[in-house]
Amino acid sequence: MNFALPALPYAYDALEPYVDATTMNIHHTKHHQTYVSNINKVLDGPHGSALKGLSLAAIQANIPSLPESIRTPVINSGGGHYNHAMFWTLMAKPGSANVTPMGSVKAKIDGDFGSFDQMKTQFNAAAAARFGSGWAWLSVGSDGKLFISSTANQENPLMKGVVAQSGTPILGLDVWEHAYYLKYQNRRPEYIAAFWNVVNWDQVAVNYDSATAGNTAVFDTPVA
């Protein structure tokens, strides 16, 4: 039993003009597919039994307990699959979802950061400052507070014992060059600013409510 590339919840051109269709197609069918193929190779390998029966989210949370020989490929490929599969759900066609936070997640953002704009400023700074490839995240910590972090490569906040600050991610942004270079070239801050036009705040609200209900796997993908 293996993982499979999930279908996008929208057409490749749905996020235009903020994310171009060519980038979305390559990002999904080439980059994400590679992560899926490579984590499946780990599953089929000599130490793949350590992953059997674990969902994708559970794999992220159990990396320190895995055999040392597969930890790095699991972080790179399992993390890549998880991060991208979640990322697609965090975006929506402009105008098809709430364009700003609503309800309990809005109240929490205002309470923990002072305002939505102040949260955006911190998030943008984390995304822009990530050296090389990685991600920016908005997560719920073990203390119930929201925090912003940046992780390298395909690491994510679920990876306790791997990342500096662990928690349950509810919003994330891919800042690898393959996510934006065709349209924005080296203008990462412009790409980051454009991202806010396609954030699916309805989904972020669902993720937040799930996280605060004690579900650390607000997004998950089972072994196919």
Report whether 174 belongs to an annotated binding site: yes
* Greatest extent of the chain over all pairs of C-alpha atoms, in Å: 50
Is 178 annotated to bind a ligand? Reply is yes
How far apart, in whole angstroms, are the C-alpha atoms of residue 60 and residue 57?
A: 5
User: Phi/psi at 215 (nearest 5 deg)?
Assistant: -95, 105
Q: What tokens appear for 187 in the block? A: 């203008």
**DSSP per position, 23-70:** HHHHIIIIIIHHHHHHHHHHHHSTTGGGTTT--HHHHHHTGGGS-HHH
Query: Is 31 labeled as ligand-binding?
Result: no
On whether 27 is known to bind a ligand per the annotation, the reply is yes
Of 60, 26, 119, the residue nearest 8 (C-alpha): 26
The CA distances from residue 155 to 32, 152, 162, in Å, are 15, 6, 8
How many alpha carbons fall within 13 Å on the CB side of residue 129? 10
Which DSSP helix (H) or strand (E) runs through 174? strand 168-174
Of 218, 58, 60, 59, the residue nearest 139 (C-alpha)? 218
Given a contact cutoff of 8 angstroms between Cβ atoms, the answer to whether 179 and 28 are in contact is no
Phi, psi angle pair for 59, to nearest 5°? -60, -45
Q: Which residues are annotated as a binding site?
A: 27, 84, 174, 178
Q: Which residues are annotated as a binding site for Mn(2+)?
A: 27, 84, 174, 178
